[in-house]
């Protein structure tokens, strides 16, 4: 255990040094150093000047001799302020030390003593934490008496409960770690486990909190001394100086302002330094977050002529619901833009169900979000053509267009647990679509919502409307989500992995529901999934995506026998079926998916492709029409089932495909 300790210590030093490199860390460390240096040096150097009484210079304002004036005994306030640093810092540190010590005892006792006593201590700490520190400090100040010692004890004990709470949490978290379990099995006693194993590992967050706590103690001490409950004359700290200065604030404002400022600066120094270190330790501060944005789609400056889109509309049922040409999605990355979608073109006919398959990172979801115009800042989307129901979506949307999208373009997301607003009733969430876009009032909209819930086979729809999402089961929620999509009269439902988060039995219900809606109302469906079997079940056409491009577009019926792209064949070979030998590891697509921030030249699949030659690594194949309704982007397309043509590496185990894809 010696080694682990030293590792912790050197790592700690490294992390604290790292904190110094941040601007806030550097400034606060410099401030803290100044404060501490002043606390040591000032009382030694200037105590004489600070306590020299001069009756000829009483209550003077700032002057060259007395930078911030003099007090009622003619003592120089500037020197008094400097010298007071010593006592202020010393008392704050003493109080913090007491608080940490008492907190450690209270916080570790529950893990050492019997369960019952431990619980009692925990309960007591929980009650004490609820009371503000100042109130506790005043309580203890009464008991220990007015004065310096009493105040140190009071502030120390007042900070103990929050330290105890933190210690308890940290100890509990460490106790669950494997190495503690191992030590326990090895017969290491409770006390030894705590002292040798747990405490060294929680020392760092405790020290950080203590640093921040010292800032708090400094302010609290200033408060008590200001009230006259802390330092008593003739001793003086900043709070005492403030107390004496405040009475004459009309005559002599600096006497009150200067000590106040000193307290704030010193408090900030402790506080900010602690925070800066905490930040480099990776204490969770949820500052980052993606926001909602209206997506702006740009036309690329050079509009590439669309070559093959018109041909690919397989089922001829009037105008297409959706047409997209040369769709690009990119995000700024640390090393240049990341482009998860690179030139996707296809169109969807009315009532057509199309599946989009590919590994994770192939750009499926970003394609769906871009079509729905939901790509969030700082992402950007461009296309040479994007039409929904004949409306151009490339210009910024008009009110009418929003309405069309709101009623006719439905989205179903992966995780129904997270896709409903937890603070709103299901009914209100469904109804607002109709209220917004169909001009219904609340009552009509709720009636429509009940009707739609019945349509997606949610029993007791009226009662369900008044419930919150957490009262719904997962499958029920996903059905309600689909019900929300059909509040209007959708022409297209984009479902992004709609069954991944659900039980297998519920998955089938949801899929059947989507198929039924498609049949009934001639709704087009774009089903995004990593699961080829599932897509083959529901869809008429399949788009296979790799590294942000469509590499193959073929009828679902041809998937098994006539897939031409080696990637499609590899995906097919990775699907286990009834004949798969269950004693052997599951097949996976060999190699790793292309990194969207570093797409290689030529065909992105080349590095994983058994057929790749020099031509493939040089030039990217275009997505070309083969025969009716079949497009492939490959230099060496060939028919055949994947298992015959593609050598599969049987290395990884069952979960690999699932893990890759989700």
Partner 1 sequence: MSIATRVVADATDSPWTGFVARRIGRLVVSLWVLVTASFLMIHLIPGDPVRAALGSSAPGALVEARREALGLNDPLWLQYVHYLQGLLGGNLGISMTSDLPVAQVIGDRFPATFEMAGLAFLLAVLISVPVGALMGVLTRGGRRRRTELAFTSTSIVVAAIPEFLLAVGLVFFFAVQLGWFPVAGRSDASSYVLPVVSMALGSAAMLSRIVRVEMLSVLSAEYVRTARAKRLPGWIIYFRHALPNALTATLTIGGLMLSAMVAGTVLVENVFAWPGLGSTIVASILAKDYPVVQGVVLVYGVGVLLVNLLVDVALGMLDPRSTIKEG
**Residue 333 near partner 1 by CB under 8 A:** no
Q: Which residue lies nearer to partner 1 by CB, 79 or 409?
A: 409
Minimum distance from CB of 17 to partner 1 (Å)? Answer: 23
**Residue 191 near partner 1 by CB under 8 A:** no
Upper half-sphere CA count for residue 549 (Cβ side, 13 Å)? 21
**Residue 43 near partner 1 by CB under 8 A:** no
d(CA 336, CA 349): 37
Minimum distance from CB of 419 to partner 1 (Å)? Answer: 5
Q: Which residue lies nearer to partner 1 by CB, 145 or 333?
A: 145
Q: Which helix (H) or strand (E) holds 117?
A: helix 115-129
**Residue 141 near partner 1 by CB under 8 A:** yes
Among 20, 34, 138, 652, binds partner 1 (CB under 8 A): 138
Phi, psi of 654, rounded to the nearest 5 degrees: -35, -50
Among 90-98, 351-359, 410-418, 440-448, the segment contacting partner 1 (CB under 8 A): 410-418
Among 78-86, 201-209, 288-296, 630-638, the segment contacting partner 1 (CB under 8 A): 288-296
Distances (CA, A) of 493 to 292, 352, 405, 407, 518: 21, 10, 11, 11, 9
Among 48, 289, 318, 459, binds partner 1 (CB under 8 A): 289
**Residue 132 near partner 1 by CB under 8 A:** yes
Non-local CB neighbours of 279 within 8 Å, separated by 6+ positions: 19, 22, 285
Taking alpha carbons only, the member of 128, 143, 146, 129 closest to residue 224 is 146
Contacts with partner 1: how many residues (CB under 8 A)? 74
Buried/exposed 95-129: b ≥16 CB within 10 Å, e otherwise: bbebbbebbbebbbbbbeeeeeebeebbeebeebb
Among 18, 22, 47, 139, binds partner 1 (CB under 8 A): 139
Among 62, 97, 200, 260, binds partner 1 (CB under 8 A): 260
Among 116, 290, 301, 443, binds partner 1 (CB under 8 A): 290
Among 100-108, 398-406, 565-573, 595-603, the segment contacting partner 1 (CB under 8 A): 398-406
Q: Which residue lies nearer to partner 1 by CB, 147 or 585?
A: 147
d(CA 169, CA 190): 17
Q: Which residue lies nearer to partner 1 by CB, 216 or 637?
A: 216
**Residue 279 near partner 1 by CB under 8 A:** no
DSSP 600-625: PSS-TTGGG-TT--HHHHHSPPP-EE
Q: Which residue lies nearer to partner 1 by CB, 123 or 311?
A: 123
**Residue 466 near partner 1 by CB under 8 A:** no
Buried/exposed 311-325: b ≥16 CB within 10 Å, e otherwise: ebbbeeeeebbbbbb
Q: Which helix (H) or strand (E) holds 643?
A: helix 642-645
Tokens of 121: 């201590």
Among 69, 86, 133, 637, binds partner 1 (CB under 8 A): 133
**Residue 264 near partner 1 by CB under 8 A:** yes
Among 11, 377, 615, 619, binds partner 1 (CB under 8 A): 377
Q: Which residue lies nearer to partner 1 by CB, 364 or 565?
A: 364
d(CA 549, CA 355): 14
**Residue 374 near partner 1 by CB under 8 A:** yes
Among 41-49, 79-87, 241-249, 628-636, the segment contacting partner 1 (CB under 8 A): 241-249
d(CA 82, CA 39): 8
Minimum distance from CB of 114 to partner 1 (Å)? Answer: 21
Residues 417-456 that bind partner 1 (CB under 8 A): 418-424, 432-433, 436-437
DSSP 414-449: S-HHHHS-TTS-HHHHHHHHHHHHS---HHHHHHHH
Among 67-75, 387-395, 402-410, 624-632, the segment contacting partner 1 (CB under 8 A): 402-410
**Residue 226 near partner 1 by CB under 8 A:** yes
**Residue 143 near partner 1 by CB under 8 A:** yes
**Residue 117 near partner 1 by CB under 8 A:** no
Buried/exposed 556-585: b ≥16 CB within 10 Å, e otherwise: bebbeebbbbbbbbbbbbbbeeeeeeeeee
The stretches of 52-76 forming alpha helices (DSSP H) are none
Among 316-324, 397-405, 442-450, 499-507, the segment contacting partner 1 (CB under 8 A): 397-405
Among 37-45, 321-329, 400-408, 639-647, the segment contacting partner 1 (CB under 8 A): 400-408
CA 639 to chain centre: 45
d(CA 554, CA 542): 6
**Residue 291 near partner 1 by CB under 8 A:** yes
Among 99, 205, 267, 490, binds partner 1 (CB under 8 A): 267
Non-local CB neighbours of 142 within 8 Å, separated by 6+ positions: none
**Residue 97 near partner 1 by CB under 8 A:** no
d(CA 476, CA 88): 62
Among 272, 534, 535, 632, binds partner 1 (CB under 8 A): 272
**Residue 135 near partner 1 by CB under 8 A:** yes
DSSP 213-277: HHHHHHHHHHHHHHHTSSS-TTS--HHHHHHHHHTTTTT-THHHHHHHHHHHHHHHHHHHHHHHH
Q: Which residue lies nearer to partner 1 by CB, 183 or 324?
A: 324
Minimum distance from CB of 659 to partner 1 (Å)? Answer: 21
Question: Do 264 and 209 touch, CB atoms closer than 8 A?
Answer: no
**Residue 400 near partner 1 by CB under 8 A:** no
CA 647 to chain centre: 40
**Residue 296 near partner 1 by CB under 8 A:** no
Q: Which residue lies nearer to partner 1 by CB, 226 or 635?
A: 226
């Amino acid at each position: 255990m010696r080694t682990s300790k030293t590792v912790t210590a050197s790592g700690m030093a490294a992390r604290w040094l790292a904190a110094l490199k941040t601007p806030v860390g550097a400034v606060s460390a410099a401030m803290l150093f100044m404060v501490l240096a002043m606390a040591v040096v000032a009382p030694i150097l200037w105590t004489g000047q600070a306590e020299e009484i001069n009756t000829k210079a009483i209550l003077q304002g700032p002057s060259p001799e007395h930078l911030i004036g003099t007090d009622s005994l003619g003592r120089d306030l500037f020197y008094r302020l400097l010298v007071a640093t010593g006592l202020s810092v010393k008392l704050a540190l003493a109080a913090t030390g007491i608080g940490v010590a008492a907190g450690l005892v209270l916080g570790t006792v529950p893990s050492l003593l019997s369960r019952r006593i431990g619980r009692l201590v925990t309960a007591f700490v929980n009650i004490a934490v609820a009371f503000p520190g100042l109130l506790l400090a005043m309580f203890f100040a009464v008991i220990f008496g007015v004065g310096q010692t009493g105040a140190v004890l009071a502030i120390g004990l007042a900070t103990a409960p929050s330290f105890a709470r933190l210690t308890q949490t940290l100890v509990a978290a460490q106790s669950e770690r494997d190495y503690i379990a191992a030590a326990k099995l090895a017969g290491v006693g409770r006390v030894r486990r705590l002292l040798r194993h747990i405490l060294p590992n929680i020392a760092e967050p405790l020290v950080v909190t203590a640093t921040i706590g010292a800032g708090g103690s400094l302010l609290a001490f200033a408060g008590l001394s200001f009230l006259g409950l802390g330092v008593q004359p003739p001793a003086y700290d900043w709070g005492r100086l403030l107390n004496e200065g405040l009475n004459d604030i009309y005559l002599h404002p600096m006497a009150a302002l200067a000590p106040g400022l000193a307290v704030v600066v010193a408090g900030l120094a402790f506080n900010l330094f602690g925070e800066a270190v905490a930040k480099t330790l990776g204490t969770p501060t949820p500052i980052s977050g993606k926001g909602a944005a209206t997506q702006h789609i740009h036309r690329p400056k050079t509009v590439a002529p669309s070559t093959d889109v018109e041909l690919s509309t397989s089922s001829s049922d009037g105008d297409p619901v959706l047409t997209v040409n040369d769709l690009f999605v990119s995000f700024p990355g640390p090393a240049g833009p990341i482009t998860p979608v690179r030139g996707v073109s296809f169109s969807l006919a009315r009532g057509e169900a199309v599946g989009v398959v590919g590994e994770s990172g192939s750009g499926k979801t970003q394609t769906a979000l871009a079509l729905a115009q939901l790509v969030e800042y700082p992402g950007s989307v461009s296309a040479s053509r994007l039409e929904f129901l004949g409306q151009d979506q490339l210009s910024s949307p008009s009110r009418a267009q929003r309405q069309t999208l709101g009623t006719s373009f439905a989205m179903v997301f992966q995780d129904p647990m997270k896709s409903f607003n937890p603070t709103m009733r299901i009914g209100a969430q469904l109804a607002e679509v109709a209220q917004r876009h169909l001009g219904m009032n609340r009552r009509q909209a709720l009636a429509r919502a009940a009707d739609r819930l019945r349509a997606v086979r949610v029993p007791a729809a009226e009662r369900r409307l008044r419930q919150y999402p957490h009262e719904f089961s997962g499958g029920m929620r996903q059905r309600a989500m689909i019900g929300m999509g059909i509040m209007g009269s959708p022409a297209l439902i984009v479902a992004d992995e709609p069954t991944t988060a659900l039980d297998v039995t519920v998955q089938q219900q949801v899929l059947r529901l989507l198929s039924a809606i498609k049949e009934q109302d001639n709704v087009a469906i774009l089903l995004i999934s990593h699961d080829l079997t599932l897509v083959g079940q529901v869809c008429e056409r399949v788009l296979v995506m790799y590294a942000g491009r469509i590499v193959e577009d073929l009828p679902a019926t041809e998937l098994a026998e006539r897939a031409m792209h080696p990637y499609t064949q590899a995906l097919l070979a990775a699907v286990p079926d009834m004949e798969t030998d269950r004693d052997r590891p599951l097949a996976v697509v060999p190699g790793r998916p292309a990194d969207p921030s570093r797409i290689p030249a030529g065909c992105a699949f080349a590095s994983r492709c058994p057929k790749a030659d020099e031509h493939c690594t040089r030039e990217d194949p275009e997505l070309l029409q083969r025969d009716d309704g079949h497009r492939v982007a490959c230099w060496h397309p060939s028919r055949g089932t994947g298992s015959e043509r593609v050598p599969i590496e049987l290395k990884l185990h069952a979960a690999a495909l699932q893990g890759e894809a989700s």
